[in-house]
């Protein structure tokens, strides 16, 4: 499912965010997320497995679309991927076992209405001038 598409991000490089959901019992959850910047794609799956432009478990830190990506394990069974967009802006993907969440640090939030509407699908407060 296409969560957000910002074609003007980074002077036309573009940024797209997709999620893949899975039904379990009476609910569904995000089992994978993909972030595309330019021609590069970071795909994150359950239990912290990942691909960068098709390369499984590529060396970290890495780059996608010219932006640095880091992988960390802050707690047991948790993995976090952080894409540094510069100017104190970043996108994080958090994984806890088989659950995947796209997260945003609260200090980078703005009130840009279009962006906020797109990110509300996840129940997260999102927007941080992705279109400038």
pLDDT in tens, 25-59: 888 888 999 999 999 999 999 999 999 999 999 99
pLDDT computed for residue 107 by the predictor: 39
pLDDT computed for residue 69 by the predictor: 95
pLDDT computed for residue 121 by the predictor: 44
Residue 14 token pair: 């573009």
pLDDT computed for residue 32 by the predictor: 93
pLDDT in tens, 97-114: 888 988 765 433 333 334
Please say whether the beta carbons of 68 and 56 come within 8 A: no
pLDDT computed for residue 115 by the predictor: 47
The full 3-state SS of 36-86, as one line of letters, equals EECCEEEEEEHHHCEEECCEECCCCCEEECCEEEEEECCCCCEEEEEEEEE
132 three-class SS: coil
Residue 40 token pair: 């590069």
pTM exceeding 0.85: no
**CA proximity to 102, closest of 31, 37, 12, 28:** 31
Please say whether the beta carbons of 71 and 60 come within 8 A: yes
132 vs 127: CA distance, rounded Å:
11
């Amino acid at each position: 499912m296409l969560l957000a598409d910002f074609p003007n991000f980074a002077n036309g490089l573009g940024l797209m965010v997709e999620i893949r959901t899975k039904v379990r019992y009476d609910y569904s959850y995000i089992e994978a997320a993909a972030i595309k910047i330019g021609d590069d794609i970071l795909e994150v799956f359950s239990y912290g497995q990942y691909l960068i432009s098709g390369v499984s478990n590529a060396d970290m830190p890495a780059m996608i679309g010219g932006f640095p990506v880091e992988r960390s394990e802050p707690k047991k069974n948790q993995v976090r991927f952080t894409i540094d967009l510069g100017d104190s802006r970043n996108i994080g993907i958090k994984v806890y076992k088989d659950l995947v969440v796209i997260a945003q640090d609260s200090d980078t939030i703005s009130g840009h209405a279009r962006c906020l509407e797109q990110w509300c699908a996840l129940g997260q407060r999102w927007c941080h001038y992705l279109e400038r």
